[in-house]
Amino acid sequence: MRFGPPADASRFASAWSDLAGVGRDPLRGGFSRHTFDDADMQLRHWFAEQAQRRGLEVENDRNGNVWAWWGAPGPGSVVTGSHLDSVPGGGAFDGPLGVVSALLAVDELRLRGVTPARPLAIACFAEEEGGRFGLPCMGSRLMTGAVDADSVRRLHDVNAVSVADAARRVGFDPSTMGPDPARLAVIGTFVELHVEQGRLLQAADASAVVGVGSEILAHGRWRITVTGQGNHAGTTRPEDRKDPMIPAAAAVFAARRAITEYEGAVATVGRINPIPGGTNVIASTVQLWLDVRHESAVTTATIVDAIVAAVRDEAAAEDCTVMVQRESMVDKVSFDAGLGLELSELLKAPVISSGAGHDAGVLSAHVPTAMLFVRNPSGVSHAPDEYADAADCLVGIDALADVLENLVR
């Protein structure tokens, strides 16, 4: 691998320690940084301040995304960045590593004496995880017109606060949300650096610190609502029970079965909400969320159908009803092959695919897009144990600087 001089370890440590206390979740562990909440706003302010210190021009777009420009926005702009929000109880690296790396890569370019011949921007996209409002990559989808702005404004969090109200509370005008073709038109290339969220890099090349992304699996989310009859846990005879938890349990097991039945598939029930949720209460309704991913969108749909069929079978036996709502779905994404090859040659880095979704996947339908992944020894992500070695992050920052230096010429 060829890399420039190591990025300044102390600048990385300082940025990382700035973020370490923001949005800590004492109940779940890790971080809960949700779109437009206090932690998210603190991170946005931190980012704006860091960018301004570097002489970058900071602006909020109409869709809750933050941009910092080195040079006035114009055609052929090179954009890098990631997101600041997290899943509930998430790790430190998913998102922030891409943002911090982008800031430090700008420093590195300056140290190298690079004067960009085209504008360079750092973007922080809103609600990448869908952790608050349920729609992943909300900011990039809004910007690219991949989702209807009215339906987004109406999405709400667990406390029934809508996107529109949450945005208003922190000073954003939700009425202007929607496609931003002028902004999209100036982006020449987008590159997102991210912590790796599995161990494909290790499998591809045990010594590789950085990998280049090739594709993202098709993936989607479904909300399944099972309705039965709320009742007393102690007094309700077996034959009188209409317990929605039984069909809900069938979803959990069917999801696991799907992983073994469909090669390359993953299916997960990571969130379940019994209503009213009392230990001595048979729930009246159970909501659960299903996350299914596979290389093929058709197979993904087949798996969802199989899981829903298992839920309906149990629901019929338990005298419950079932409602299924698709919350999001994206087809497989292949990143720009030419750009990927160029970066993998430049960095002497292996090419790996991603089972995780990213704003880069949304942007890739519109502009040449690439991703860099920094190795994560355990492969754990979306959990407090998510980890990348600081020395590896510095290698990632240098790799990003190499890539940006090439692209801004």
Rule CB under 5 A: which residues touch Mn ion?
94-95
End-to-end alpha-carbon separation of the chain, Å? Answer: 22
Evaluate whether 82 touches 97 at the Cβ level (below 8 Å).
yes
Q: Residue 136: which of Mn ion, ligand GLV, none does it interact with, CB under 5 to 8 A by kind?
A: ligand GLV
Burial of 54 (0-12, 13-18, 19+ CB in 10 A): middle
Helix (H) / strand (E) element for 129: namely: none
Give the CA-trace dihedral at 392, 16, 353, 211, to 10 degrees: -30
- State which of positions 111-130 bind ligand GLV (CB under 6 A): 129
Q: Residue 37: which of ligand GLV, Mn ion, none does it interact with, CB under 5 to 8 A by kind?
A: none
- State which of positions 245-264 bind ligand GLV (CB under 6 A): none
Nearest to ligand GLV of 108, 192 (CB atom): 192
Contact call for residue 37 and ligand GLV (CB under 6 A): no
CA 223 to chain centre: 18
**Binding footprint of ligand GLV, residue count (CB under 6 A):** 4
Burial of 329 (0-12, 13-18, 19+ CB in 10 A): middle
Minimum distance between the CB of residue 95 and Mn ion, rounded to whole angstroms? 5
Evaluate whether 348 touches 1 at the Cβ level (below 8 Å).
yes
Q: How far apart are CA 108 and CA 309, in angstroms?
A: 54
Minimum distance between the CB of residue 355 and ligand GLV, rounded to whole angstroms? 7
Q: Residue 357: which of Mn ion, ligand GLV, none does it interact with, CB under 5 to 8 A by kind?
A: ligand GLV
Minimum distance between the CB of residue 359 and Mn ion, rounded to whole angstroms? 8
Cα four-point dihedral sign 295, 296, 301, 306: negative
| Burial letters 115-134, b for 16+ CB under 10 A, else e | ebebbbbbbbbbbbbbbbbb
Contact call for residue 136 and ligand GLV (CB under 6 A): yes
Minimum distance between the CB of residue 96 and ligand GLV, rounded to whole angstroms? 13
Nearest to Mn ion of 94, 318 (CB atom): 94
Q: Residue 91: which of ligand GLV, Mn ion, none does it interact with, CB under 5 to 8 A by kind?
A: none
Nearest to Mn ion of 82, 285 (CB atom): 82
Minimum distance between the CB of residue 32 and Mn ion, rounded to whole angstroms? 13
Nearest to ligand GLV of 119, 136 (CB atom): 136
Residue nearest to ligand GLV (CB): 356
Q: How many CA atoms lie within 13 A of 215 on its CB side?
A: 13
- State which of positions 311-370 bind ligand GLV (CB under 6 A): 356-357
Contact call for residue 213 and ligand GLV (CB under 6 A): no
Residues that bind ligand GLV (CB under 6 A): 129, 136, 356-357
